[in-house]
Amino acid sequence: MTTDRILQGKVVVVTGAGAGIGRDLALAMAREGARVVVNDVGDAAHQVVAEISSAGGEALASVESVSEAAAAQRIVDAAVEAFGRIDGVVNNAGILRDRIFHKMGADEWDAVIRVHLYGSYYVSRAAANHFKEQGGGAFVHMTSTSGLIGNLGQANYNAAKMGIAALSKSIALDMQKFNVRSNCIAPFAWTAMTSSIPTDTPDQVARVEKFKQMTPAKIAPLAVYLLSDAAAGVNAQIFAVRNNEVFLMSQPRPVRSVHRQEGWTARSLAEHGMPALKAAFVPMERSADVFSWDPV
Domain assignments of the chain as residue spans, ordered by start: 11-251
Per-residue pLDDT at 2: 47
Per-residue pLDDT at 195: 64
> Where in the sequence numbering do the catalytic residues fall?
157
Which architecture does CATH list for 11-251? 3-Layer(aba) Sandwich (3.40)
pLDDT at 43 over 80: yes
Asked whether the beta carbons of 157 and 112 are under 8 A apart, the reply is: yes
Per-residue pLDDT at 258: 98
Q: How confident is the model at residue 193 (pLDDT cuts 50, 70, 90)?
A: low
d(CA 32, CA 10): 10
Q: What are phi and psi of 8, to 5 degrees?
A: -55, 125
How far from 218 is each of 32, 194, 214, CA to CA, in Å? 15, 15, 7
Q: How confident is the model at residue 205 (pLDDT cuts 50, 70, 90)?
A: confident
Asked whether the beta carbons of 134 and 175 are under 8 A apart, the reply is: no
